[in-house]
Structure 1
Amino acid sequence: MQHLRITVPARLTEPVLAAVADDPAVTTLTVQRGSALRPLGDVIELDVAREATNDVVDALRRLGVPDHGTVHIAAVPTWLSREALTAEQEAPGHSADAVVWAQVAHQSYAETELNWSYGSFMVLATLLAGIAIILDSQILVIGAMVLGPEFAAIAALGVALVRRRYQLLRRATVTLLGGFAVAILATTGATLLGRALGWVTLRDVTGPRPGTGFIYTPDRWSFIVALIAAAAGVLSLTSARVGGLSGVFISVTTIPAAANVGMALAFGVRSEVVGSSLQLALNLVGMAAAGALTLALQQAVWARVLKRRVRARAKHP
């Protein structure tokens, strides 16, 4: 179930109630008249089956509620209600598979801001990956992959393309490219410092590295893994099942490839710069494409579910 808290001017209260009151997916409908000060008006609260949330939100958009008031959407972690259970059972589709597009868009905007925290995580993850390359440590590579925050921006690219949010597309692109640029520059600087101190040598970058050699040797499997990982990641972000994200972070070679680019630049090793850059590009393109395709498929599937819901409401008004 999703809980909606709607704050509207008094003139919109009755249209909102008319739009949601007869919806079989809506339960626990309450109105607090005159309780809102900004905007001056009323507060309406309701629970709605997750599968029908997009339909309700779209109706509120058509009434202009977001322009004149506020709609808060929050998942209800635990609830006890026979009426709510009936609403979920009668709503077409399955709750765990439903995509609440308003939440997905909001999360995409929130997690693609190029701020100090994002840049810090990118730099720290890439530096950790650089140490993993020097030590040829797969464990440290995995740690760097999990620490990197770049997947949110990659997933946002798919959301922007499918939902035609071009401002989000620009924002996610700038965040993604800017984050990697800062991380690579920081790793290059750290490697130059380590080289001056004698802590990092050319052999550390070009010598045999059986544990981390995959970082600069991309192949067709790199692209396939990126496709699968991104599809799983987007499903985790948009559905009610989030357990697959850690597997996504461990599967894709973005942060380690960026670290190897920075280290190779410090030593002027062109072959590894090219190989790691190609590995990074393959992963980014593959994940962005797979994310967009997965979201497009979800949108198409739920469009059909919505049509079933409209037909069902027409038969039983």
Structure 2
Amino acid sequence: MLHLRLIVPADRTDEVVRTVEKTVGTTHLAVVPGAARDPRGDLIMCDVAREAGDDLINSLRALGIDECGSIAVENIDLSLSRRADRAEKDAPGEGADAVLWEHLSDATHEESTLSVTYIAFLSLATMIAACGVVLDNAILIVGAMAVGPEFGPLAGFCTAVVQRAPRLAWRSFTALIVGFAAAMAVTVVFSLFMDATHLFTEEKLNAARPNTGFIYAPDWFSFVVAVLAGSAGMLSLTSAKAGAMVGVAISVTTVPAAANAAVALAYGDLSQTKGSSEQLLLNLLGIVVAGTLTLLAQKYFWAKQRERTARTSG
């Protein structure tokens, strides 16, 4: 269930209440006249089944409530109510299958913003991965993949393609390119420092690396895993099942590939730099393709579900 908190001008309250009441899957409607002070207006609260949430939010935005007032949406972790159970039963489809496009756009917009924090996390993840590739330590590689924040811009780009939002697409693309470029540059400097202190050596980089050698040797399996991880990541994001994101993060070798390319570049090993860069691009491509197709499939099947429900109710 979702909880909506609305601030509505007093002269629009009846219109909004009618919109909420006619939306199948809503309950617990409450109106507090004159409660809002900034902006001034009435406070309207209601609960809505997740599968009906996108329709209600779109209807409220069509009324201009987001411009003259406010629309706030929260997830309800626990709701002990027979009315809530009935609302979820009446709403079309399953809540786990529903996509809240406004929430997805807002979340990916925030995650795809190029910021100091984003670059810092990506740089730290790449440096951890650099230690992992030199030491051939799989634990460090997994840790680096979990720290890396690159799935945010990737999800933002997929969402922008499906929603036809060029500004979000450009923002996400910029965050990816600039973020990885900055992280790799920092890691090159880090590698030179570690070499100067004799913690990194070219011999270790070129030695047999059974645990991490795949990072600079891309193949079709790399692309297949990236595609599967991209689909799983997008499903996790749209269904609010954040626990799956950890598994997605440690399934693809974007950060380790960038790290290996940076360390190899520091030593002038262009062969490993080229192979790692190809691995990085292959993974990014696989995630973007899979994520976009997953969102398109969700959008298509959800639209079909709503059509069937409309025919049945009609």
TM > 0.5 between the two? yes
Matched residues in 2 for 1:119 and 1:203: separation?
30
Q: Please state whether the residue corresponding to 2:250 is helix, strand or coil.
A: helix
Q: CA RMSD in A?
A: 1.2
CA contact (8 A) 2:187 2:262 kept: yes
Task: Give matches, 1:105-144, under 5 Å.
Answer: 105-144=105-144
Structure 1 residues 14 and 309: alpha-carbon distance in aligned structure 2, compared to 1, 3 A threshold: farther
Paired amino acid for 2:194: G
Secondary structure of the corresponding residue to residue 199 of structure 2:
coil
Does the residue aligned with 1:251 lie in a helix, a strand or coil?
Answer: coil
CA offsets 1:100-142 (integer angstroms, 9 cap, x no match): 1111111111111211211111111100000001110011100
What pairs with 1:16-31 in structure 2 (closer than 5 Å)?
16-31=16-31
Please report how far the alpha carbon of residue 84 of structure 1 lies from its aligned counterpart in structure 2 after TM superposition.
Answer: 1.2
Supply the AA of the counterpart residue of 1:20: V
Q: CA separation in 2, counterparts of 1:60 and 1:87?
A: 19
**Letter matched to residue 274 of structure 2:** V
Q: Does the 8 Å contact 2:24/2:52 carry over to 1?
A: no
**Comparing 191-200 with 111-120, which one deviates more in the overlay?**
191-200
Pairwise CA distance, 1:197: 2.8
Counterpart secondary structure, 1:21: helix
Query: Which residue of structure 2 aligns with residue 47 of structure 1?
Result: 47
Q: Structure 2: which amino acid aligns with 1:62? A: A
**Structure 1 residues not aligned, in runs of 5+:** none
Q: Which residue of 2 aligns with 1:253?
A: 253
The answer as to 2:221 corresponding to 1:217 is: no
1:198 is displaced (CA, Å) by 2.7
Q: In structure 2, what is the Cα distance between the partners aligned to 1:141 and 1:309?
A: 47
* Structure 2 residue aligned with 1:61: 61
Residue by residue over 1:126-171, the C-alpha shift from the partner in whole angstroms, topping out at 9 and shown as x without a partner, is 0000000111001110011111111111111111111112211111
Q: Secondary structure at the match of 1:28?
A: strand
Structure 2 unmatched ranges of 5 or more:
none
1: CA distance, partners of 2:25 / 2:297: 24
For 2:200, give the aligned amino acid: V
The match for 1:266 is: 266
Q: Which moved more, 1:165-174 or 1:286-295?
A: 165-174
Structure 2 match to 1:7: 7
| Equivalent residues of 2:122, 2:149 under 8 A apart | yes
In 2, the alpha carbon distance for the partners of 1:246 and 1:23 equals: 36
> Which position in structure 1 is the counterpart of 2:156?
156
Q: Deviations over 1:297-316 (max 9, x none)?
A: 11111112222344455x3x
Given residue 92 of structure 2, which amino acid in structure 1 is its aligned partner? Answer: P
- Match for residue 287 of structure 1? 287
- Give CA deviations for 1:199-235 in whole Å, capped at 9, x if unaligned: 3221122221111001000000100000000100110
2:273 and 2:218 mapped to 1: Cα distance?
12
Post-superposition Cα deviations, 1:178-202, rounded to whole Å, max 9, x if no partner, equal 1111110011001112222333221
Q: Which one-letter code corresponds to 2:98 in the other structure? A: A
CA contact (8 A) 1:95 1:240 kept: no
Q: CA deviation at 1:37?
A: 1.5
Quote the offset at 1:23 in angstroms: 2.5
- How far apart, CA to CA, are the structure 2 residues paired with 1:49 and 1:192? 55
Between the aligned partners of 2:309 and 2:106, the Cα distance in structure 1 is 25
SS in 2 for 1:77: coil
Q: How many residues align?
A: 314
* Contact 2:194-2:200 within 8 A present in 1 as well: yes
1:7·1:41 contact (CA, 8 Å) conserved in 2? yes
Distance of 2:152 and 2:204 partners within structure 1: 32
Paired residue type of 2:235: L
